[in-house]
Chains A and B, each alone.
Chain A
């Protein structure tokens, strides 16, 4: 019985260590840079992909709702950045091709806490890309 009590206590301790792992306060700027660098790692096939929702006027609106539901918890309101993940209103995201952003969404950056979002159907991922592109275009226009 002692063995099982010990294994339970060890298990709970491990769980507590695990709990503390992702909680590291504000997003480190150096880490943000390396996360943006992942955009450049998208294979050429994805870099050249066009957004099939590019001409859909509703896509950025729908993407904005999807962003609130799935991404805002980490990336902050309107992608301004949060405690767990960097802002997506950055030149790296603005200059990235739609296909590269789609690739990051589909594959995540698993070693750097960005989950894989392939569970969202492809059209929803493209709607998110439309939203992020619109967000960065607005920012560029308004010069904020």
Chain B
């Protein structure tokens, strides 16, 4: 059963605003070239003025509790060519228990350097306001292990989880490949210690040349990759002890119409990890969203 009380006013008014903006005359989309990563980030930011609306799912198996389906919506906006801002709305269904809204996140990514370099840094900062029932596994940090996710929703949702999350993203595009490394530091705003984590990724399109005819199924539209991520303990017990780790091969299909579909089977690498997660997602990119907002507030220009 969906707990409607948990959804509150924010998502409804947010969706109303979004629908209003989208109905003001967005006519074309822009085809972005998205890598298949779901956890790792690369240094490619959203195009300025574009809004990418995304939906992702994580189906998770659990040995010590019921399986679950974590899902989230993302609204990713290119504020400038060097700043991307993003809002997440998280929810989950635990089979045999309930479906609940678990919280929101506000994320910002900044590209400090003007040009491409051998390695390109991006600074990431996120404010997270959710509860302990959150199961989207958007990142793995500290001593996150499978058994943490077995707590029944009714109990876990009572505990608030407000965190600031920082990432240093180091990424490079080289000969068609993307290589990325993310280092993660998280501070719970209560009195918990700093927690750490990592994510690594590599991806490449199936072919590097564009086709000379229009097609949806050409190899250039498919990007295959793999990512690996896990926790690195906390300030008092840094390292691999009592942490979980995952490896996930993935595929992204970037359609010329602006749609991107991603699928990523994920495998736990030790006994403390979920044995198997299946992640998938769909996104659509609206170009000219910034101008549509401008016309909403300032009126149309000749």
Contacts and interface: CB of A to CB of B under 8 A. Distances in A.
A106 to B, nearest CB: 6
A78 interface: no
B294 A11 contact: no
A91 interface: no
B79 A19 contact: yes
Given A4-B162, A119-B173, A66 B210 contact: yes
A42 to B, nearest CB: 10
Interface string B214-225: 100000100000
A137 B176 CA distance: 29
A94 interface: no
Contact of A22 (B49, B208, B297): B49
Interface string B36-62: 000000101101111000000000000
A121 B106 CA distance: 31
Pick the 8 closest A-B CB pairs, nearest first. Answer: A18-B79, A23-B294, A121-B208, A121-B176, A73-B287, A58-B212, A69-B31, A23-B290
Interface of B is mostly: loop
Contacts of A97: none
Nearest to B176: A121
A127 B35 CA distance: 21
B116 A116 contact: yes
Interface of A: 4, 7-8, 11, 14-16, 18-26, 58, 61-63, 65-66, 68-70, 72-74, 83-84, 106-116, 118-124, 127
A115 B47 contact: yes
Given A84-B49, A121-B175, 16 more contacts: A18-B80, A21-B290, A22-B79, A62-B210, A65-B211, A73-B28, A74-B47, A83-B291, A84-B48, A84-B288, A113-B81, A114-B81, A115-B48, A118-B44, A120-B33, A124-B210
6 contacts: A4-B129, A65-B211, A70-B31, A111-B81, A113-B81, A124-B209
A73 B211 contact: no
A114 B82 CA distance: 10
Interface of B: 10, 28-33, 35, 42, 44-45, 47-50, 77-83, 85, 87, 104, 106, 111, 114-116, 127, 129, 162, 173, 175-176, 178, 205, 208-214, 220, 256, 287-291, 293-294, 297, 301
Contacts of A115: 45, 47-48, 78, 81
B116 A22 contact: no
A61 B212 CA distance: 6
B205 A121 contact: yes
A19 B80 CA distance: 9
A111 B77 contact: no
A106 B301 CA distance: 33
A22 B80 contact: yes
A18 B289 CA distance: 12
B34 to A, nearest CB: 9
A111 B213 CA distance: 34
A11 B127 contact: yes
A74 to B, nearest CB: 8
A35 to B, nearest CB: 12
Given A15-B85, A111-B114, A113-B81, A25 B210 contact: no
Contacts of B106: 11, 15
A84 B175 CA distance: 30
B220 A106 contact: no
Nearest to B35: A119
B238 to A, nearest CB: 30
B81 A18 contact: no
A16 to B, nearest CB: 8
Contacts of B10: 8
Nearest to A43: B115
A63 B210 contact: yes
Given A4-B129, A7-B127, A11-B127, A65 B210 contact: yes
Contacts of A106: 116
